[in-house]
């Protein structure tokens, strides 16, 4: 989150997260991590999170969300939207919060950016080693 904040252009104060949980495995550990993520976003980055759209969630993830919601502030719950569907259902929700030029192609946008998790993880580890 801190890296995202540093990359924000002047005049931009909050962000929209699109989280695709397709093929995510669910375990008790995952439930705890999801709850912690929602709680931290609500407690520490309340004004930074404009919207979080979770897509391709499983039935089990829906149950987890229903379990976690009562423990979160109503203002935080209102920022989350769980959605399923294809382009016709998802694109209008995405472009309501994200300009199509900033939306990656995977989510039906025009941006050609591809996130490299391994590269990002390596940079993070190198940064921690320097400290």
CATH superfamily of 2-130: CRAL-TRIO lipid binding domain (3.40.525.10)
8 Å CB contact between 74 and 65: no
DSSP for 12-41, please give it.
---EEEEEE-TT----HHHHHHHHHHHHHH
pLDDT, residue 90, reads: 93
Alpha carbon distance 103, 113 (integer Å): 9
pLDDT, residue 49, reads: 83
pLDDT, residue 125, reads: 86
Domain boundaries, the chain: 2-130
Q: Which residues of the chain have pLDDT under 50?
A: none
Alpha carbon distance 82, 96 (integer Å): 15
pLDDT, residue 101, reads: 92
Length of the chain (residues): 131
Burial class of residue 6, CB neighbours in 10 A (0-12, 13-18, 19+):
exposed
DSSP for 67-123, please give it.
HHGGGS-HHHHTTEEEE---HHHHHHHHHHHS-TTTSBGGGT-SB-----HHHHHHH
Which DSSP helix (H) or strand (E) runs through 51?
A: strand 49-55
pLDDT, residue 73, reads: 80
- State the angle between helix axes of 59-68 and 28-44 in degrees (0 to 180), rounded to the nearest 10: 50
């Amino acid at each position: 989150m801190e890296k995202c904040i540093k990359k924000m252009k002047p005049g931009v104060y909050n962000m929209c997260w699109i989280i695709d949980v397709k093929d995510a495995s669910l375990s008790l550990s995952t439930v705890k991590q999801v709850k912690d993520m929602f709680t931290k976003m609500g407690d520490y980055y309340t004004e930074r999170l404009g919207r979080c759209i979770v897509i391709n969630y499983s039935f089990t993830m829906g149950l987890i969300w229903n379990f976690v919601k009562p423990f979160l502030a109503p203002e935080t719950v209102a920022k989350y939207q769980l959605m399923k569907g294809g382009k016709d259902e998802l694109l209008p929700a995405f472009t309501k919060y994200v300009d199509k030029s900033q939306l990656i192609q995977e989510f039906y946008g025009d941006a050609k950016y591809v996130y490299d998790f391994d590269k990002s993880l390596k940079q993070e580890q190198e940064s921690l080693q320097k400290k």
